[in-house]
Amino acid sequence: MKHERFDIIYSLGLDCACAKYLIKFGLRSCSGPFDWLSGANFSTRMNLILNDFSGFFEKDEIKLLTPSKDKTMNFRTDDYHNIAKGFAYYHDFRSGIPFDEEYLNVKQKYARRIKRFLRNINEKKKVLLVYHAHFETVPNYVCIEYCKKLEQKFNKPIYLVIIENDFSKSSSEIEIQNLTPHLTKYKLLTEEKGKDGIYTNMGCEKNCSLIYSKFILDTNLFEHNIKRICPVAAKFLMKIFPIKKLKWFISDKLFFNE
């Protein structure tokens, strides 16, 4: 595949897997509003961007979820759900802190991300938005419609990539649909089950990496190498230091609290 260069690349979800792949390949220069959110479909996310995230984080729409069983990365957070938008917050609300107090902290964090996200899309010349759809199937006409609306809103080309799972594909088989000059859908086998028989968050990394390795963030070589090395170093530190508080500090500062 031909490599493509971009000035800024953002994850649109569907969950944190997309942001993790961007980090893995040195494609993520800063946190975006959708990086660590799960749930909410493609249309909901597109409409939020088109409406400057109006009503994105309404207090009365956010409710506490039953604690998840897997707390390996978010063992110091409480899980919340946005009942109106469909978002799940697994990395934002620190446990043991009253909701009213923590809500203000999280709201300020997302306000920073949203402001930076909209500013970067407006100011950067070549912008790529990536939607790792997992099991969601987004009709082509919906993708095309929203791509046109994005370009009308920002008055310039916005590159949009949809990565969609297709169980009919064999390993490494990729169907490329160039829906518009700036909109591409990749259909391939992205999902994979772990030893427990449950589909993993990152899916089939071998296949998914074929897509993410195609992109290049237009930055200097030093910055690119730093972006590739930091996640690896962080994972190594979290393995050699078994102290939970230290693990949380590393992951929080590097990934979740920008």
Task: Give me the mean pLDDT over the 165-191 stretch.
Answer: 96
Q: Contact at 8 Å (CB) between 146 and 43?
A: yes
pLDDT given for residue 66 in this prediction: 75
pLDDT, averaged across the chain = 87
Question: What confidence score (pLDDT) does residue 239 get?
Answer: 63
Distance (Å) of CA 117 to CA 29, 41, 122, 140, 208? 11, 19, 9, 25, 25
φ, ψ for residue 37, nearest 5 deg: -100, 145
pLDDT of 172 reads: 87
Picking from 135-149, 176-190, 215-229, which range would have the lowest pLDDT averaged per residue?
215-229
- pLDDT on residue 72: 47
Flag the least confident range among 185-189, 208-212, 240-244.
Answer: 240-244
**What is the average per-residue pLDDT within 223-248?**
55
The predicted structure's pLDDT at residue 96: 83
pLDDT-derived band at 34, boundaries 50, 70, 90: very high
- Residue 4: is its pLDDT beyond 80? yes
Mean of the pLDDT values across residues 5-15?
Answer: 97
Query: What is the predicted pLDDT for the residue at 82?
Result: 97
Structure tokens at 138: 């987004």
What pLDDT, on the 0 to 100 scale, is given for residue 79? Answer: 92
User: 100 pLDDT band (50/70/90 cuts)?
Assistant: very high
Share of residues in the chain with pLDDT > 90 (%): 74
Mean pLDDT of 70-97: 83
Q: Give the number of other CB atoms < 10 A from CB of residue 96.
A: 8
Which range, of 19-23, 45-49, 105-109, 234-238, averages the lowest pLDDT?
234-238
Q: Encode pLDDT of 205-229 as tens digits.
A: 999 999 999 999 987 444 555 555 6
Amino acid 159: pLDDT = 98
Q: How confident is the model at residue 1 (pLDDT cuts 50, 70, 90)?
A: very low
For residue 126, give the nearest of 174, 164, 159, 96 by alpha carbon: 159
